[in-house]
Amino acid sequence: MALNNTYDARLQQETAVGAAVQLLLLALLGSAIGLGPAGWLTGLVFAFATWAVLSRAVHRSRLRSFGPANRVTLGRATLVGGVTALVADSFESAPPVTLLVALTAVALLLDGVDGKVARRTGTSSALGARFDMEVDAFLILVLSVYVSTRLGPWVLLIGGMRYAFVAAARVAPWLTAPLPPSFARKTVAAIQGVCLLVAGAELLPRPADLAVVLLALGSLVWSFGRDVAWLWRNARTPVEVPVEQPQLLELAAR
């Protein structure tokens, strides 16, 4: 029991360090660009919510070590918190597009790192996969909010589709059945962040950004539709498939 308490205390320290780094990033952003009240409040809420949810998940998972892969994911979550604060602040003042794009680009690039680290170090876990997926999904949602201010509210469909799927699964449990692995699903998921980043950078003419985001949305609707159709067809005829939960915004499966 004492040994378990020691492991749990160490894991909780890791999550606390993550929250502290998040606060440090907010302070750096505040001193660099002068975050407004909305940016500060949103960033603080994100930091607290991430710490609280992750601490609870870590405690319930009974992991013996936080692991290097989860540290990478926690670093990405910190960057996503910075992006979230900047997007919230953009509703009050002109956003620092270069800084927002830089933080987002690093977060997207690191997305392929945590999975590789987990596999090479033999530290893959259900908690790590879920943590990775939730960080990815929330980043897509935040980017959708940002791009929607320029291209229209329909862009929110990209960020909200995964959460709508989760909500629908509570009403229709057959949506929670395992899906067969799909390279196409992972590719579609990966391009969402890239397309939203391109549109958010505002380097292309508005029609080009519109086409890029429409491409992202179209491919996502196709991916969702294909998986939902598969789940529906097999709802009354169970078949054995490799275990892969319906993570339709999974950018890097572990």
**pLDDT tens across 84-94, in order?**
999 999 998 88
Residue where the block lists tokens 């205390």:
9
Per-residue confidence (pLDDT) for residue 252, from 0 to 100 = 37
Confidence of residue 6 (pLDDT cuts 50, 70, 90): low
Could you tell me which residues come within 8 angstroms of residue 13 by beta carbon, excluding any fewer than 6 positions away?
A: none
For residue 12, name the pLDDT band (cuts at 50, 70, 90): confident
Query: In this predicted model, which residue has the larger pLDDT, 5 or 19?
Result: 19
Q: Is the pLDDT of residue 110 over 60?
A: yes
Q: How far apart are CA 111 and CA 253, in angstroms?
A: 10
Contacts for 106-113 with beta carbons within 8 Å, 24 or more apart? Answer: 106/79, 107/76, 107/79, 107/80, 107/83, 107/139, 108/139, 108/193, 108/194, 108/197, 110/72, 110/75, 110/76, 110/79, 111/76, 111/136, 111/190, 111/193, 111/251, 111/252, 112/251, 112/252, 113/72
